[in-house]
Amino acid sequence: MIKSIILEIFGGAWAMIVIFTIILSSVRIAYLISKKEKFVFYKELTYLLFIIYLLSLFYIVTFQDDNYGLSNFIPFKEMFRYSINSHLFIKNFIGNILLFMPFGLFVTAYLDQRKVYPAIILTTISSISIEIVQNIIGRVFDIDDIILNIVGGTIGAVLFILLDKLRDKLPKVLNKAWFMNLIMLLILLVAIIYLTNFTEYIGEMVN
Domain parsing of the chain, residue ranges: 69-169
What is the distance, to the nearest Å, from the Cα of residue 115 to the centroid of all Cα atoms in its chain? 19
Residue 53 Cα distances to 7, 67, 100, 134, angstroms = 13, 22, 10, 18
What CA dihedral angle connects 50, 145, 62 and 139, to 10 degrees? Answer: -170
Residue 145 confidence (pLDDT): 92
Q: H or E stretch including 200?
A: helix 198-206
72 beta partners: 142
Region 151-165: mean pLDDT is 95
Contact 145, 74 (CB under 8 A): no
In which region does residue 134 sit, left (phi positive, over 0), alpha (psi from -120 to 50) or beta (all else)? Answer: alpha
pLDDT value at 201 more than 50: no
Give the confidence band of 147 by pLDDT, cuts at 50, 70, 90.
very high
pLDDT value at 205 more than 90: no
Per-residue DSSP letter, 172: G
The alpha-carbon radius of gyration of the chain (Å, integer) is 19
pLDDT value at 127 more than 50: yes
Residue 79 Cα distances to 5, 33, 84, 145, 153, angstroms = 20, 49, 10, 8, 17
- Which contacts of 182-191 are long-range, i.e. CB under 8 A and separated by 24 or more positions? 183/42, 184/41, 184/42, 184/45, 184/46, 185/41, 188/45
Residue 68 confidence (pLDDT): 56
Region 95-115: mean pLDDT is 91
Tens-digit pLDDT profile for residues 26-60: 999 999 999 999 999 999 999 999 999 999 888 88
Contact 120, 108 (CB under 8 A): no
The pTM for the full model equals 0.82
Residue 135 confidence (pLDDT): 86
